[in-house]
């Protein structure tokens, strides 16, 4: 039975969608670590104009309390995820809520669950925004630390809301910090300084599209076992990486080749969190100018992904690429860098991080719930 305090939003209704998109930012005033997503990006995604949202369906819900909007969420069906990963799975994402609104959140989530159940969903993964690589929207477990771009921050009661609704922790995500002064890091750096089993090069801005095609092929091949990853098309990759061409230094993206054949990639990002926080959901000419002029001046960075083809795993390729990329971070004066995010069950990646001096901590959590 539909609750009077829950409103379902039609994504084609521009004023209603605008209210949905901006709601979490309004609720998070006063939380210094919060970073708003870019309104235009979320709008493009939810009205399915984004390439990665073409195979999705959305049900959008807002909860109110005493005439004030206090929570939002999206029920999401990703047909590609169902086909490639978990048949019958759906998502609840774009979650945002004020504190002390347990009953309103419960009513809203129930509406989202009913919407998904009517469409054949038997298990819900939350909070996840549903798009490849399904990497935004995880619940934060560390609340007094600056998040690392492009991941979000949320207050501790988000976790309580889901656990009170019988969602169980299912997909823990770790972040590792690599201290460049640690003995393990220095040992690895010395060992791989003259590594020549493969050749390692930076991406070419001149041949950007060709190199992005190489990276997406490697990504689709090497990340297939990660629970959150669905294969990306070339068009999606162009949409996803396109904005980075002008702001990302080539040294942040590496390709490993053996006899001219690509066998691995390594991709890092600078921490753009302070910039995006200052944008407050806007991305106009002023914000774009700031990105182009300030994005290469950063105080934190980290490797977001390393992928090696099966025949070259265990040959030191990943460590050689990591040392080359971390060496670039060192050259900028950084004393450490990150390796993030790592699925808890991915023991190979966790072992890799620890072998080069990484100290890990559980930062994000994703839940699931089987519908009865």
pLDDT of residue 133: 53
pLDDT of residue 142: 78
Contacting residues for 119 by C-beta, under 8 A, at least 6 apart: 57, 77, 90
Q: What is the pTM of this model?
A: 0.94
- Lowest-pLDDT range of 127-136, 306-315, 358-367: 127-136
pLDDT of residue 91: 96
Query: Could you tell me the pLDDT band of residue 345, with boundaries at 50, 70 and 90?
Result: very high
Contacting residues for 267 by C-beta, under 8 A, at least 6 apart: 215, 252, 253, 254, 303, 304, 305, 306
Of 159, 144, 139, give the one whose Cα is nearest residue 32: 144
pLDDT digits (tens, 9 = 90+) for 193-247: 899 999 999 999 999 999 999 999 999 999 999 999 999 888 887 777 777 888 8
Query: Could you tell me the pLDDT band of residue 134, with boundaries at 50, 70 and 90?
Result: very low
| Helix 234-241 vs helix 208-222: crossing angle, to nearest 10 | 110
The hierarchical CATH code for the domain 6-166 is 3.40.630.30
Across the chain, mean pLDDT equals 93
- Lowest-pLDDT range of 106-110, 145-149, 169-173, 239-243: 239-243
Query: Could you tell me the pLDDT band of residue 139, with boundaries at 50, 70 and 90?
Result: confident
Of 139, 91, 132, give the one whose Cα is nearest residue 112: 91
pLDDT digits (tens, 9 = 90+) for 265-305: 999 999 999 999 999 999 999 999 999 888 888 999 999 99
Alpha-carbon gap, residue 3 to 43, rounded angstroms: 26
Cα 151–chain centre separation: 5
Question: Domain 177-364 adopts which CATH fold?
Answer: Aminopeptidase (3.40.630)
Alpha-carbon gap, residue 301 to 327, rounded angstroms: 12
pLDDT digits (tens, 9 = 90+) for 233-251: 888 877 777 778 888 999 9
Alpha-carbon gap, residue 102 to 99, rounded angstroms: 8
**Mean pLDDT confidence for 72-93:** 96
Where are the CATH 3.40.630.30 domain residues in the chain?
6-166, 177-364
């Amino acid at each position: 039975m539909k609750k009077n305090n829950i409103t379902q939003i039609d994504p084609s209704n521009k004023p209603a969608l605008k209210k949905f998109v901006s709601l979490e930012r309004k609720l998070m005033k006063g939380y210094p670590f919060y970073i708003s997503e870019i309104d235009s990006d979320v709008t493009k995604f939810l009205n399915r104009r984004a390439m990665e949202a073409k195979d999705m369906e959305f049900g959008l819900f807002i909860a109110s309390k005493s005439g004030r909007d206090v929570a939002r969420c999206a029920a999401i069906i990703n047909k590609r995820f169902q086909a490639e990963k978990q048949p019958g799975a759906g998502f609840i994402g774009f979650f945002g809520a004020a504190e002390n609104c347990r009953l309103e959140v419960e009513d809203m989530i129930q509406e989202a669950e009913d919407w998904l159940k009517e469409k054949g969903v038997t298990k819900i993964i939350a909070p996840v925004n549903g798009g490849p690589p399904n990497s935004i929207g995880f619940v934060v477990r560390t609340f007094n630390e600056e998040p690392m771009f492009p991941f979000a921050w949320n207050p501790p009661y988000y976790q309580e809301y889901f656990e009170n609704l019988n969602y169980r922790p299912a997909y823990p995500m770790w972040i590792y910090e690599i201290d460049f002064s640690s003995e393990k890091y220095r040992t690895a750096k010395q060992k791989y300084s003259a590594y020549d089993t493969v050749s390692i090069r930076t991406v070419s801005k001149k041949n950007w599209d060709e190199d992005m095609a190489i990276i997406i092929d490697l990504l689709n091949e090497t990340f297939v076992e990660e629970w959150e990853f669905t294969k990306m098309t070339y068009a999606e990759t162009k949409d996803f990486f396109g904005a980075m061409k002008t702001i990302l230094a080539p040294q942040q993206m590496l390709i490993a080749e053996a006899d001219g054949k690509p066998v691995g990639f390594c991709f890092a990002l600078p921490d753009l969190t302070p910039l995006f926080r200052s944008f407050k959901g806007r991305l106009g000419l002023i914000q774009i100018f700031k990105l182009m002029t300030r994005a290469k001046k950063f105080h934190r960075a980290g490797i977001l992904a390393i992928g090696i083809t099966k025949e070259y795993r265990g040959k030191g390729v990943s460590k050689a690429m990591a040392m080359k990329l971390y060496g670039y971070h060192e050259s900028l004066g950084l004393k450490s860098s990150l390796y993030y995010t790592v699925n808890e069950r991915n023991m190979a990646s966790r072992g890799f991080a620890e072998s080069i001096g990484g100290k890990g901590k559980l930062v994000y959590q994703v839940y699931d719930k089987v519908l009865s």
